Structure 1
Amino acid sequence: MQSELHNSLLPLGSFNRRLAFYMAAFVLFIVGFVFGVYHLCFLFAAVLSALLLSSIWVRVSHKALRVEVRGPCEVTCGDEIEITTEIANDGVLMRAFVEVALPKMRWLKPIDPEHAQRTVLLIPPKNTTSVSFRLKAQKRGIYEYKHVLMLTRDPFGLFCAVKAFPCYYRLTVLPRVISIPFMWSTAGYIFGELNESNGEMSSTGMEFYGVREYHPGDPWKRIHWKVTAHTGRLSVMEFEREQHGNAVLVVDCDKRAHWGDGINASIEHAVMLAASIAGELLRLGASVTLVAEPFIPTPGLAVESYGELKVLLYELARIEPIDAPSAIEVIHKARKLYGRSATLVAVLTEHSNDAKQVAQDCDICVSIHDGFALIEANALNVKHMLHLPSGEM
């Protein structure tokens, strides 16, 4: 990034430098021709002094400067964020013509590309100036800024210098959670928490717990209309179960099963669906255990309530395709460990090893295809097709 910034700005400085030299030579020639050698020597010394002072200005402008980067620690994929760079001048001299740029991150795109680099015209001594950058998080993951690049110029634009100032800023972009409404009926029947005759939540083992804000995917029959009318926001009734179901969510991380790159890669769809299914299951009252070999090895990471969903999202944010055990191996290991008491949910792709066998061994199987996902519930012999989002968010 340092070389990119330097090369993008240096040609302008080189052009200014050549133009200044040509103009200086022309002026010196005219002065020498009209006024004589004495005036020529005086003007030459003045020009040389100006060039020397400009060069010194550029070299000392970085002195006594400190940089700190601030911003949110976590965002969701697709969110817009603002990262602020604070530049402190601890010296006794004013600093001017300072250009600031963040290192380029492929999936953190500047909202306004023209403002990817910001110029600070003046930094008073013993003072701090802030520069903000607005970015859009296009892909989940963990992003780290370990330095900020600063370019200084002289007032005439003849010289420039680039320096990387060390800093540390870590941003976690969490996967998106989308609504999968039919997971309520599919998983609900498997957990035995829905009445087969009318599809409503059974009162057996359910006690009223309280009222909370509506989340996408919550059944409309649970809306508490009095609280909604009083607060002006959709609110739903929450129940506490005497016994919680247990779901084991397995994500196939084997790179042989995945394809594509960037925001439309199959692993991105798999992680998004895993996060969404985990959210739906937790809202149903089931505890969810996440297994994603080798990032989260068996026995996995377990959470008990919807309020802990972010714990799973943090783990899902760092998953990438890698040399990993095949899906069938992980499924057999999980089934052997948890037995039939747990509902086994697998998220894989159409290219996963023994995908058909995996689908038969799971209670719920989510298979990623090109442009859509197929969700199968073997216990109910039902299938749902879900269209996957594509393109930039």
Structure 2
Amino acid sequence: MNAGAISPRWSVRPRPLLWRFVPVVAGLVAFHLWNSQELFLLFASGILATAAVSLAAGLWLGRQARVRAAWPDTAHAGTSHAFSMRLSNVGLLPLPLSTVELSVPGTTLPAQVAVQLVDSEEPVELDVELEFRRRGVFKFARVRTVCDPLGFFEVRREWDVPVNLVVHPKVWVLAERDLGPGSPFTALGMGNLPRPGHDVEFLGVREYATGDSPRLVHWPTTARRGKLFVKELARSSRADVTLFTDLASPGPWTEAVTEDLVTGAASIVHLFRDLHLRYQMLVNAVRPVHVRFGLGSAQYQHAMHVLTQVARGGERESSELLGLLVPTLARPNALIVMAAFPTAGLLDLLCGLHGQGVPVSLLTPWLRNLPDGAIGAAPGWEPVGPGGRELPFRTHRFSSGEDLKEILAGLR
């Protein structure tokens, strides 16, 4: 919340009540002119004196008011947000009944609130509910305090509010899922629920920050509102395949091992695009990833950049992290896991997913790294898993010379 005092400006306007009596006053003036000039002068002097007293009283009383406001920084379209103002009297005399006018376009904010400041030690708190009907960037309009003791003039003190309010599209949260810092998606538990009439086309968004991938920017929003928004939503129910790259398991990690694994993942993503597959990526890493970018197509280079960008800072074991992701996977989806040193817990989880009907494939550069002494070199060999049990899912020895299209042929 932004809070603080606001610098005022003064303005004086004739009341509409005064203009309504102009014809009556003109008639009385004409009558007195016809009868007696002395009565006219007396009557005119009384009107001018009353107006002067009203103006002076309004100016003096208006200076006694102090306003502090608390403004929200961000909001969501279609939801109510609290808005508060604090008015206090710093003078010796009580202020008469005054009006505080608030105006914010595009909201359901009331137009006027009547207050009376009696004691300087007891400020008046105004709590108003704001509801924004559309998204965008809003500037709070002027806030006015009106002191009008006698009814002839409106003596206003106007405050310009230097706060912009960013209103995001409304978000319906289906479930909260903590995927840990190793995930490139921060809101996998949010679902896509477009509702006609709410001007909502996408959910789970935030403003663009330096370093975000350009492919994640929602360009229609950029064109309409002049601001960059970034998708944080993985539409897992619409993905054909999920690629999970494990860079966090314990093992003799070297720069060459990490580079081989990330390069292989980038090659798979490149094939996803060639096969016109809808995919999502998840990388779990606990160490910085340093990859030497080589020559290749623009799509391959982009995949390498995305993988190295999201592979940062994980604290969960890969089987635990992947277990949190499982409820978001639709049954027809395929899961491809790339792991240089797969742990027993990860293999047990993959066996369970295979038993639930999820197509699972494990790609590892060296089969000899499988636990419990399982060794082998032939592609497609079924290694022995924990406890001497054969792994029921497909396991491939991944190398740079292997044809990955054959592995992914069943995903179309």
Q: TM-score, normalised by structure 2?
A: 0.40
If each structure's helix is expressed as a fraction of its own residues, which one has the higher value?
A: 1
Q: Which structure has the greater CA radius of gyration?
A: 2
TM-score by length of structure 1 reads 0.42
